[in-house]
Amino acid sequence: MDPVDKALWFIESHFAEELSLDDIAAIAGVSRFQLVRAFGYATGTSVMRYVRARRLTEAARALANGAPDILAVALDAGYGSHEAFTRAFRDQFGTTPEAVRADGSLANVQPMEPILMTETPTAKLDSPRFEDTPALLIAGLGERFSHDGSAAIPALWQRFNEQIDHVPGKVGDVAYGVCFNTDDAGGFDYIAGVQVRDFAELPKDTARVRIPPQRYAVFAHREHISTIRRTVTTIWSKWLPASGFQAADAPFFERYGPEFDGRTGLGGFEIWLAIK
């Protein structure tokens, strides 16, 4: 049973209780750092956002079934006041608890139903090779994403590809997609970039990240780039827990060599996971 399966089981069994990310990571048997990444890649949402959405979905279901006391439903969902519950409910569903109770159905909300990991496809991985890298300086275009908003990453690459040959101090013909600064809510910084000699010549608005010297497990992704999430999910949820390694708190990146065709998405590339 992989750590995301364990986390989902624990959440579904205990979301009516007070839960913390540390509690869930302990049950999953991994660090909170590893759980945030594995869960995000596998499910497309963050751990605690899923907990919140499941609590609010069950609250909405109770209201649709005619629960007479909204405050009691709010307290059961872990909210200390009617006002706090209403704000969270509106943020999640775009409507109010009163409206759902009046409708008597969930027709106007989008509930978060339990995620079954057996429904999440995984990839067949070749054994990785291991690389000890020197420091790398990467520069390009960057934005902050969440796992449920990461579908916008290809548009970032589209913009960067228009300027990739004009990055000052560019080294070689390899491109990098670097993920770093992951937070507990599943947010992360992502840079579509290239290696540069130094940061001194870069325009002020250029995104940049220094990847420190680090040991990496390197995985080949040979399918179309649209299936990358399946490969990354398998790395974090299947390979890493069984490997005996731990994920290092360092950037995780894609490496696109000359063989990759950015127009068709074919040709293959590599996924580099920092380990310790």
Is residue 134 classed as helix, strand or coil in its secondary structure? coil
Residue 75 sits at φ, ψ, to 5 deg, of: -65, -40
Q: Give the CATH number for residue 168.
A: 3.20.80.10
User: 144 and 81, same structural domain?
Assistant: no
User: 254 and 178, same structural domain?
Assistant: yes
User: 221 and 84, same structural domain?
Assistant: no
Positive or negative torsion for Cα 225, 227, 228, 231: negative
Residue 258 lies in a domain: yes
Residue 216 lies in a domain: yes
User: 194 and 65, same structural domain?
Assistant: no
Positive or negative torsion for Cα 87, 88, 92, 93: negative
Q: Give the CATH number for residue 79.
A: 1.10.10.60
**Residues 135 and 212 sit within 8 Å (Cβ to Cβ):** yes
Residue 18 lies in a domain: yes
Residue 219 lies in a domain: yes
Q: Residue 226 is part of which domain span?
A: 129-274
**Residues 236 and 182 sit within 8 Å (Cβ to Cβ):** no
* pLDDT surpassing 90 at residue 13: no
121-163 per-position pLDDT tens digit: 667 899 999 999 999 999 999 999 988 777 789 889 989 998 9
29-60 per-position pLDDT tens digit: 899 999 999 999 888 899 999 999 999 999 99
> How many domains does the chain divide into?
2
